[in-house]
Amino acid sequence: MIVLDNMIELKTNSETERLSFATRYLVQINFTFDLTVNSNGFSGSSHFCVRREQIEKLCSDLTIMDQTMFGNTILEDNDSDATIKFQMKPHGKVIVCGQVGGSHEEHYLKFSFQTDHTCIKPLVTDFYKLLKNEEPTNLYEAIDLILWKDWDPIGVNDIAPRNEYQIYTPTIFELKNTGSDMETIAQALHEIEIATIGVVGNIEHCRQVANKIINLKF
């Protein structure tokens, strides 16, 4: 388990209509938030637990909605019937609705308020930053995480999909698993940068990344 202390807010143009996710911890692929809503003079707060792929899908859906000015998406709590739904309406209006807390609980809140599409990009950006937190459970996942967080040769791990570099993970995993030294792994990373990705490359940075990979223990 990784304890987290992130606050993600839907930045509306109103002080009375708010939606916020206070991140508490990450257990493998499950994020737990304290979800708080202020809407029409009412407020409510409850735990809200979602898997990594649910957040990734939410970000993808919201990005498409922002680009096309059409569509909807929903985020569902894994432990109850609590939900958050985003609906794109004409002229860039966004309806945010759902339920805080499960209906099996003594208190829960159904809510609905309107904002506009300018709130979507900051929300997606903050969620992508949150997704940089991972808890690997094996060597392969640990290498994949290092490539994403530390190597990141094109500098997109705060905006790109999580699978941006996963095509290269098997190569580096094989090198580590067969006992290759740091310089061999660094050179392999540098070759990928130059020959495959097509950037200038930074061998010293690759050596730093390779050193982290060499020191992994599972």
Q: What is the pLDDT of residues 94-121, one digit of tens each?
A: 999 999 999 988 889 999 999 999 999 9
Max Cα-Cα span within the chain: 62
Predicted structure pTM score: 0.68
C-beta atoms surrounding 22 within 10 Å: 17
- Domain 2-130 coded CATH 1.10.10.10: no
As a whole number of angstroms, the distance between CA 182 and CA 120 comes to: 42
What are the residue boundaries of the structural domains of the chain, listed by start?
2-130, 139-214
User: If you average pLDDT over residues 6-11, what whole number do you get?
Assistant: 93
Question: How sure is the predictor about 78, in pLDDT bands with cuts at 50, 70 and 90?
Answer: very high
Taken in order 104, 105, 107, 109, the sign of the CA dihedral is: negative
